[in-house]
Amino acid sequence: DAGITQSPRYKITETGRQVTLMCHQTWSHSYMFWYRQDLGHGLRLIYYSAAADITDKGEVPDGYVVSRSKTENFPLTLESATRSQTSVYFCASSEDRAYSGANVLTFGAGSRLTVL
């Protein structure tokens, strides 16, 4: 199916465990993003990627690791989960229209992570 898919949709884990959230898009969009959504904070950018093998930090990168070996995949890893990382995580993608600025973000359905 075309679109952007996140997995798992729901995950419960324990403090100190490693967790990986997967994101897959079928449009060959250049840009991919990870956001977390918390009450009162809206969406905050964790990491983003401009292309395969190019990633950069967003507003709240601490405690997270990303990789992008293929254009279509952008996994987010919590190497040692903490309770403060309990959140809803959204993956998004957009085309590369840097010069026109006419990018539009398209979101996945989200992954709800609970860290006990």
Q: Which is nearer to another protein, 7 or 80 (CB)?
A: 7
Strands 111-115 and 10-13 come out as parallel
Is 18 or 54 the residue whose CB approaches another protein more closely?
54
By rule CB under 8 A, what string of x and - marks binding of each residue 28-47 to another protein?
---x-x-x----xxxxxx--
CB of 95 to another protein, least distance (A): 10
| CB of 23 closer than 8 Å to CB of 107 | no
Cβ proximity to another protein, 22 vs 43, nearer residue: 43
Please identify, using beta-carbon distances, which residue of 17 and 41 lies nearer to another protein.
41
On the CB side of 60, CA atoms within 13 Å amount to: 16
How far CA 104 is from CA of 17, 87, 98, 114, in Å, comes to 34, 24, 11, 29
Under DSSP, the state recorded for 58 is -
Cβ atoms of 11 and 114 within 8 Å: the answer is yes
Q: Which of residues 55-114 bind another protein (CB under 8 A)?
A: 58, 90, 92, 94, 96, 98, 100-110
Q: What does the binding site for another protein look like in residue numbers (CB under 8 A)?
A: 31, 33, 35, 40-45, 48, 50, 58, 90, 92, 94, 96, 98, 100-110
